[in-house]
Amino acid sequence: MDDYWGVCGGRIIVRRDVAFWLWLIWGVSFLAATQNQESEAHMGDKIVKTDKEWRDILTPRQYDILREKGTERAFSGHYIEYHEDGTYVCAGCGNELFRSDTKYDSKSGWPSFWKPLADDRIKTETDRSFFVVRTEIVCARCGGHLGHVFEDGPEPTGLRYCVNSLSLDFVKNADEEKSSIRKE
Ligand SMILES: [Zn+2]
């Protein structure tokens, strides 16, 4: 019986070397699965953080909106009446989301854009909260909630990307700055 590893007096027996190989295969596939999970968390340049890490880098209001899908009060946001030339980036991860030349005054009370900087910067999800179906927009890199997109925007897209100011940071266009200095 030395060469066998069995159960209940040899009724179900597995040779010791076979058992070893089965154990080894199980071990390797378990490790591979763990590795896969890790590489998924870092796939591309996606940003995955724990709740605590988000709380450490965001203000409580930003956390409420970006991570808990909150909405800032209409007409309260910093970027509604904001007309600088540059790029609006995600306040959570810096992902470049909208150019200032696609921003327009929708009179909705939130900063509005008719087009994202590139289609892959933003992901959409169906939002069924408050008994209405809306299309939520989130940052494609960190998953932060930005706002919603509606089909009542201006041409050429006919879309209105309605975004919370607190979900955004702004990066001034350095080239524009230089060229305006040159003009003076
Ligand atoms: Zn982001």
- DSSP per-residue codes, 80-121: TT---SEEEEETTT--EEEEGGGEE--SSSS-EESS-SSGGG
The pTM is what? 0.72
Mean predicted confidence (pLDDT) in 53-75: 97
C-alpha 172: how far from its chain's center? 23
CA of 73 to the centre of ligand 1 (A): 21
Tens-place pLDDT, residues 82-108: 999 999 999 999 999 999 999 999 999
Q: Write out the two tokens for 39.
A: 């590489």
Q: 116 vs 41, which has greater pLDDT? A: 116
Mean predicted confidence (pLDDT) in 24-49: 61
Q: Are the C-beta atoms of residues 137 and 147 closer than 8 Å to each other?
A: yes
Q: Are the C-beta atoms of residues 88 and 168 closer than 8 Å to each other?
A: yes
Q: Amino acid identity, residue 184? A: E
Residue-level pLDDT at 180: 46
Which domains does the chain possess? 4-41 (no CATH), 51-177 (2.170.150.20)
Catalytic hit among 93, 139, 142, 162 = 162
| Active site annotation includes 162 | yes
